[in-house]
Chain A
Amino acid sequence: MSDQQHHAELAPSFHAERRNLRAMGMWLFLGSEVMFFTAFFGAYIVARSASIEPINHPLDKVLGALNTVVLITSSLTMALAVAYSKRGDRKKTGLALLGTLALAAMFLVVKGFEYHAHFAEGVYPSSDIFHGFYFMLTGFHGLHVIGGMISLSILWYRNRRGDFDEHYCDPIEMTGLYWHFVDLVWIFLFPALYLL
């Protein structure tokens, strides 16, 4: 049974309560994701502090900074999507979702350029331990971006179909929480990998 069919039979109080449950579920899921990335960050920190050779900043800081700006902006558009959807403004919600999608796609394109440049130089995850961590961390982050984009696409489609209104926009809110988390991970990744 989909949300659509239930919609007619469910009172607003039900939606409010279920939104509350889903929010708690999403926060817990994000908690587990934090632990997931913490394991990598912890390992990276240990490896960095134990390694004898200095890192020669082999990453392109400009592209990294660009991606940071792109992702932060996408968090803004995502927040807008949530706000518009809570107001019941279907058109603006759709635009904001598209904007987020576009920015996410841009992030991946820039990342793709970076990876391509590395591979062209013969630098792979196996080249040395720094690049092992770099590809691992950005790779999993990228997978999470792709997952978010799939969700955003589905949301855009459902929004167009008229599934959401001011009483019921849980999926957009939950995806918003997730998307801010993805952005937050990058905000840690960027200085850890590119700057320090």
Chain B
Amino acid sequence: MSEAKIERVADFYHPEPTDFFRKYVWSYDHKVIAKQYLWTSFIFLILGGTLAMLLRWQIAYPNAPVPVLGSLLHGMFFFGADGSITPGGYLELATMHGLIMVFFVIIPLIVSAFGNFLIPLHIGARDVAFPLLNAVSYWLYLPAGLLIFASFFVDKGAAAAGWTAYPPLSDAAGASDPVLGMNMVLFALFLAGFSSILGGLNFLVTIVKLRAPGMTWSRLPLTTWAQFITAVFQVLATPMLAAVGAMLLFDRIAGTSFFIPTGLTINSELVANAGGGFPLLWQHIFWFYAHPAVYILILPSMGFASDILSAFSRKPVFGYRAMVISLASIMGLGFVVWGHHMFLSGMNPVMGMAFMISTVFIALPSGVKVFNWLGTLWGGSIRLQPPMLYALSFVSMFIVGGLSGIFMAASPVDIYIHDTYYIIAHFHYVVFGATLFSVFAATTYWFPKMFGREMNRKLSYLHWGLTFLFFNLAFFPMHFLGEAGHMRRLATSTGYEFLNPLAPWNEFITLSAFALGMSQLLFMYNFIYSVFAGKPAETNPWEASTLEWTIPNPVPVYNFKELPVVTRGPHEYSSPDTLPGDWLPQNAPANPSASAGH
């Protein structure tokens, strides 16, 4: 390759480095960067999960000392002198759990880790469009994560105003305000957001420009389509977060009053800022970003699910075109529904009406996708291997999460259930039940390609069963709590008479959550052990037809020795021309009698 001049961008790749630093630390290889994101996100998943376990302890056993950790860390972080969780500490836990899970676990996992690994392979390219920018993206994300982690250790602790950080509480809330911690969080979000924008534009250019010959838009795996639509969200919506975060930071550091109205009095002191600002301004701009953000949290996992369901049903995705149109509709509508987070905010109720209409109708494309997943299964030959079980659970729990969303979309009902556990149940079903399960599906599915080894199937089955069971036991009862009016972010509910009958549910949920947390140890062990000592995997253990399965494991630095020429769609399982088998790779020669797969 060094003799002839390189004619096309698609032919170019950075050669494999020999030193440890260029190989594993500052790498331009999308596969290495993907694994960097993967490991880092999994570590943050452990941190975010632990925070959740601690706050569940406080809810179930208010003011009881936390066993082990409480005695070790009493007086530090969120623990009081006796090892129980303080009210301020509880809010810190709730806030940081949300921030870490959204920005440092889910988005990096489904977009940056799996997107990075899969997009070039799925489209038949050697790398992404801008490999250097790709490396920069990771090295913006990691310091952001470290900054978030460090915010726990500073005076007054980490942010505690909820992950949504509504001012004036997040702005000038008096003596309990975690001054440095909150500012660190805002900086970290700025860095992580920048990383996200650069990553998104990298993926967009890659998918548009670097598809292999024959890889038309209608032959893209749905994983790639989902990443494409997600990348549009990332590039257009994330800057809003940067802007509004900068305004909040200015309010906190430079004394401006973007969100501080005149006459704001905390305790008995008039706030020093000049006033004239609008608390609702934060909510509008924040949710303009954060609603597309929640679609960033779900769209890639819909992509994984589609491809996995198809491969393990041995038939094409039902309604490929409708699936793509649904993805695009979700993107379009996703920009005009943000006000449904603000039905009760004091915003003009006429706007509430408008947002209700758009919100109710955004259920439609998601519904179409669910029907199409069911259609994909119908008449199939279903292989219930671990990736499939996780993907099926994704569909099942997405149905629950999506349907519970309809209640909130009906704004008069939202009057009652807003800011209650009903909302918590809804988004955990979608982000944990759906997205995190799809992460488990994607991990077990693509593990052979990423690491050249197999994950232990029995452990995967066990992990799936326990996680599915305990997840539902932990989160379904939250719908009941919400129906009863149990508010969110309450360090303890003992003060309210109407909440007392719900205490047994709180305990039940906590115990299920602990069991859920413990079950994840199985996955952790399976993953780590298999990376280093798992059984070596064959090239295509799942008999799947997309391009990544045509190359050896582990994948060489140049991905494809010769760039593939694509001749068929991504899910052409059981098509007549695959006989006597039931699949052919996407780049199989147009006349399959020459060399049939299987």
Contact = CB atoms under 8 A, between A and B. Distances in A.
Contacts of A147: none
Residue among B238, B247, B258, B285 with the highest chain A CB neighbour number at 10 A:
B258
Given A21-B205, A43-B247, A140-B246, A129 B239 contact: no
B170 interface: no
B9 A21 contact: yes
Interface in B186-209: 197-198, 200-202, 204-205, 208-209
Contacts of B255: 124-126
B202 A50 contact: no
A46 interface: yes
B21 to A, nearest CB: 15
A10 B6 contact: yes
Interface in B121-163: 129-130, 133
A46 B235 contact: no
Given A13-B8, A17-B8, A28 B274 contact: no
Contact of B240 (A36, A50, A124): A36
B174 interface: no
Given A32-B201, A50-B278, A11 B5 contact: yes
Contacts of A109: none
Contact of A43 (B208, B237, B238, B285): B285
A18 interface: yes
A136 B276 contact: no
Given A10-B5, A14-B12, A31 B235 contact: yes
A38 B238 CA distance: 12
A113 interface: no
A43 B258 contact: yes
B235 A32 contact: yes
B259 to A, nearest CB: 10
Interface string B36-63: 0000000000000000000000000000
B5 A47 contact: no
A35 B6 contact: no
Q: Which of B133, B243, B273, B288 has the most CB of A within 10 A?
A: B243
A132 to B, nearest CB: 4
Interface string B71-108: 00000000000000000000000000000000000000
A1 B14 contact: yes
A153 interface: no
B7 A132 contact: no
A31 B236 contact: yes
Interface string B238-252: 111011101100100
A125 B5 contact: no
Contact of B239 (A18, A33, A126, A128): A33
Contacts of A46: 278, 281, 284
B2 interface: yes
A42 B285 CA distance: 9
Given A32-B236, A43-B281, A140-B246, A24 B208 contact: yes
Contacts of A9: 2, 5-6
23 contacts: A11-B6, A11-B7, A18-B9, A24-B205, A25-B129, A28-B204, A28-B235, A32-B197, A32-B236, A37-B243, A40-B243, A40-B247, A43-B243, A47-B277, A50-B278, A124-B255, A125-B256, A126-B254, A126-B255, A129-B258, A129-B274, A136-B246, A136-B258
Interface of B: 2, 5-9, 12, 14, 129-130, 133, 197-198, 200-202, 204-205, 208-210, 235-240, 242-244, 246-247, 250, 254-258, 273-278, 281, 284-285, 288
Given A25-B133, A28-B235, 15 more contacts: A9-B6, A14-B6, A14-B7, A14-B9, A21-B129, A24-B205, A24-B208, A25-B129, A32-B197, A36-B242, A47-B281, A51-B276, A125-B256, A129-B257, A140-B246
